Amino acid sequence: MEFPYYPLNDFGPAMKGMVIGGLGIFHVFLAQFAIGGGMLMCYFQWLSQTGREPAAREALDGYFKFLVLVSFVAGALTGVAMWFTTIQISPRTIGMMVEEFHWIWATEWTFFCLEVAAGYAYYRCGGGLADRARMTLLALYSLAAWFSLFWINGILSWQLTPGGWTPAGSVWAGFFNPSFWPSLFYRTFAAMSIAALVACVVVNAHPRLSLGERDALIHRAAHFLIPMALMPVLGLWYLYAIPPDSRAWALGGSAAMTLFTGVAAGASLFVGLYALIGLNLQRVTINGATATLLCGLAFVATGGGEFVREGVRKPYTVRGALFSNSIAPSEVAELRRVGSVTRDPYPLRHPQAYPNDQVRLGAKVFRFLCGVCHTMDGANGLVHLAGTWTLEQLRLNIAKLQLTKPFMPPFAGTADELEALVQLISWTRAGRPEDWPLSNEVPTIVQIDRWLQEAGIHPASQREGKR
């Protein structure tokens, strides 16, 4: 078997998954803002050209400069940064996404180009154009922006719920997967809400609008918050569409996931109630500070939601097809036999920092099998997680990795590699001394082998299904 090895980067104390996740949250927030912003601009243009709110035009031109600066530049930059980091962390996942969906990506990028062109044309010439032309450009911009969400949404939701998709089958079976619609609607409404909240901040800060005009425009923008009322239903639909094990982690099974689900739901609920009752029913007005606070809460809700969406996919990056550490389920048996890093051609970064070849082997095994979700002594560090475990406990719990925590994939290496990893952990927690004895007792390896066999090669969710 030819296993595809790629060079993997190390981000020091920051966990690799967190590097992608952290960047992803900013990117998603900015991108969703750009989409909702486009729709809101169409609405404001319509309000101004039909004479309903003549001040909308003033706000639009001020608002748009802000939008262009923030979402085009920062959104595009974080988007590129996503590609740069993911290919250093999970190249095989990216490879699979590109290979499976290349025409979809191409379509998405075409819409993105249209979005940039329409947005830029509006930015440069919008002020001098007649209303009809302005509206055309804005409609083009927001349609293109929404369609780029449409295309990317199919690929992202496929990772968690591939549904009836198989590598040999139709690409559309993967694209229109079980969580496609709930997440598309959810993201669309989230985009509208973010745009409305940012509009409240911008209108408040606009120097050339009278108090009355501000008030009127804020209540117009608040209409974009009304669809938030449907978000709880969409959230439930989404939870219903994802696999039962993922759902269970978000709803109590994993402390971190449950906490973030709660934070996301709580922050959305707060924004939603304020928007519906305060802004739309009681017609209270909102000042810049409150609007900024609500924007902050929307960011927290987005962050929590993205964290959960990425988190509940574990132990997979593409459910059923690729584990988080870029190993396909069908390859585990073979890697257990020949070794996970036997043919990994990439050297360690500071090989001389390790005391012997066994610990060096452990470091390669760690990099390949665990490094995407753990560091040694930084975020989610093994030394902290297993700090008090005896050697026996380390061996047993790593051999039965998928039973230790069901969101970890099965261990995909030999018993010797596992022992090398155990030595790496205990050497690190001993303070990285210069001399470290080799561990080469035969009974130890035999025992680890037995535990590996007991654990089997299937992830926890499938083991349960088999019983």
Pick the closer one to ligand HEC by CB: 89 or 291.
Answer: 89
Contact 72, 116 (CB under 8 A): yes
* Rounded least distance, CB 434 to ligand HEC, Å: 24
CA distances from 463 to 196, 454, 455, 458, 466 (A): 47, 11, 9, 6, 5
308 touches ligand HEC by CB under 6 A: no
Q: Which residue's structure tokens are 């132990």?
A: 315
* Rounded least distance, CB 84 to ligand HEC, Å: 21
301 touches ligand HEC by CB under 6 A: no
Pick the closer one to ligand HEC by CB: 279 or 372.
Answer: 372
Rounded Cα gap, residues 402 and 395, in angstroms: 13
Rounded Cα gap, residues 33 and 26, in angstroms: 11
Kindly report the three-state secondary structure assignment for every residue of 73-139.
HHHHHHHHHHHHHHHHHCHHHHHHHHHHCHHHHHHHHHHHHHHHHHHHHHHHHHHHCCHHHHHHHHH
For CA atoms 331, 335, 341, 343, the dihedral sign is: negative
397 touches ligand HEC by CB under 6 A: yes
Answer for which of 315, 329, 381, 459 binds ligand HEC (CB under 6 A) is: 315
Pick the closer one to ligand HEC by CB: 45 or 402.
Answer: 402
Q: Which residue's structure tokens are 């969703």?
A: 32
461 touches ligand HEC by CB under 6 A: no
Stretch that binds ligand HEC, among 34-42, 219-227, 260-268, 402-410 (CB under 6 A): 402-410
Answer for which of 31, 275, 401, 460 binds ligand HEC (CB under 6 A) is: 401
Answer for which of 404, 414, 423, 426 binds ligand HEC (CB under 6 A) is: 404
Stretch that binds ligand HEC, among 151-159, 220-228, 260-268, 380-388 (CB under 6 A): 380-388
* Rounded least distance, CB 254 to ligand HEC, Å: 8
CA distances from 356 to 361, 370, 425 (A): 9, 20, 14
Pick the closer one to ligand HEC by CB: 199 or 408.
Answer: 408
319 touches ligand HEC by CB under 6 A: no
Q: Which residue's structure tokens are 């969400």?
A: 149
The first and second tokens of residue 121, run together, are 């044309």
Query: In the chain, what is the straight-line distance between the N-terminal and C-terminal CA atoms, in Å?
Result: 30
359 touches ligand HEC by CB under 6 A: no
Stretch that binds ligand HEC, among 1-9, 275-283, 345-353, 364-372 (CB under 6 A): 364-372
Pick the closer one to ligand HEC by CB: 21 or 288.
Answer: 21
Pick the closer one to ligand HEC by CB: 408 or 448.
Answer: 408
- Please give the size of the binding site for ligand HEC, defined by CB under 6 A: 23
429 touches ligand HEC by CB under 6 A: no
332 touches ligand HEC by CB under 6 A: no
For CA atoms 141, 143, 149, 151, the dihedral sign is: negative
Rounded Cα gap, residues 268 and 225, in angstroms: 11
317 touches ligand HEC by CB under 6 A: no
Stretch that binds ligand HEC, among 4-12, 116-124, 277-285, 382-390 (CB under 6 A): 382-390
324: left (phi over 0), alpha (psi -120 to 50) or beta: alpha
Contact 97, 155 (CB under 8 A): yes
Query: What is the contact surface with ligand HEC in residues (CB under 6 A)?
Result: 314-315, 324-325, 369-370, 372-374, 380, 382, 385-386, 397-398, 401, 404-405, 407-409, 411, 421
